[in-house]
Structure 1
Amino acid sequence: MKALTFPKSSRLLKPSDYGKVFDDVQIRVPHRNFLILATPNTLGHARIGLVFSKKNLKLAVQRNRVKRRIRETFRHQPDFPALDIVVLGRRGLADLDNATLNVTVMELWSRLRKKNRQLQIPSTSEQSGTGKGTG
């Protein structure tokens, strides 16, 4: 069984890492309480960064709880695509209990996977489609 850890290699650590995602957003997964931005990376594994402001979650206890839940659900994702992901919090997060938060975040991860697959499919079909009918 795979050890369920959350190493530094799975995190966006530097401002430049976050900047790459914000400057080159290729996948957006909106939700009433979250916004997920992602861009492919060349590392072969996913990395995550979390952005939660005091404006949306007043107390540090609330911010830390939400971040813990998101990290935990991310950690349990098997074979996540090679993406750099930034999760931004929106208003209303403090009202969600842990069970609702987990369900919401798991749904967002599945939507992110689906959008990533859709992003990959057109690039391969366009290349194969250009060779047909030319000759």
Structure 2
Amino acid sequence: MLTGRFTRQQRLTQASDFQNVFANPCVKQGDASMLLLGKKNNQETARLGLAVAKKQLKLAVSRNRFKRLTRESFRQHLNVIKGFDIVVVARSGALRKTNQELLELLSKNWHILSKKCEN
């Protein structure tokens, strides 16, 4: 049952989890506003990790907005991305995108990531 929450089981929490995805992702997908790295995991649920650097998004408001929108899109697309560990890296181009544009871009990227990793 989908509750709309972002639970601890849906997060990449350990540094080793992040390193595992960064070291050998099965797919890299992105543009000027973000980079998505994905890798299959051996679990039923997808897990999300966010890497949002101050160097890329200087204002805390911008960093929080990016993280909030990414988590929301992730929750809405859990059925598409089951069984993946995903790291989303923010880039400075995210500043120039509206909320709607970011959500559409994330939606498109979730589907692409799912298709590329299946092959």
What letter corresponds to residue 75 of structure 1 in structure 2? Answer: R
Write out aligned runs for 1:101-120 (5 A).
101-117=102-118, 119=119
Q: What is the rounded CA distance, in whole Å, between the counterparts of 1:73 and 1:61 in structure 2?
A: 18
Do the aligned residues in 1 keep the contact of 2:32 with 2:94 (CA within 8 Å)? Answer: no
CA contact (8 A) 2:34 2:91 kept: yes
Compared CA separation, residues 22 and 102, structure 1 to 2 (3 A): same
Report the equivalent of 1:96.
Answer: 97
Letter aligned with residue 97 of structure 2: L
What is the RMSD of the two structures over their aligned residues, measured on CA atoms? Answer: 1.3
Aligned partner letter, 1:99: Q
Matches within 5 A, 1:34-113: 34-79=34-79, 80-113=81-114
Q: Which runs of 5+ in 2 are unaligned?
A: none
Q: Write the deviation string for residues 93-134 of structure 1: whole angstroms up to 9, x where unpaired.
A: 1121111111111111111112122x2xxxxxxxxxxxxxxx
> Which residue identity is paired with 2:7?
P
Name the structure 2 match of 1:122: none
Q: Which amino acid aligns with 2:113?
A: L
Matching residue of 1:130? none
CA distance in 2, matches of 1:61, 1:10: 24
Could you say what secondary structure the match of 1:92 adopts?
helix
Identity of aligned residues (%): 36
| Partner SS for 1:61 | helix
Task: Provide the rounded CA distance (Å) in 2 between the counterparts of 1:45 and 1:3.
Answer: 14
Q: TM-score, normalised by structure 2?
A: 0.92
- 3-state SS, counterpart of residue 39 of structure 2: strand
Give the match's secondary structure for 1:81.
coil
- The amino acid across from 2:111 in the alignment is S
Q: Which has the higher contact order (CA 8 A, sep 6+)?
A: 2
Partner AA of 1:114 in structure 2: K
Mean alpha-carbon deviation: is it higher for 63-72 or for 34-43?
A: 34-43
* Segment of structure 1 superposing worse, 76-85 or 10-19: 76-85
What amino acid does structure 2 have at the position aligned with 1:104?
L
Q: How many residues align?
A: 118
Extract unaligned runs of 5+ from structure 1: 120-135
Question: What is the TM-score normalised by the length of structure 1?
Answer: 0.82
Q: Find the aligned partners of 1:17 and 1:78 in 2 and give their Cα distance.
A: 19
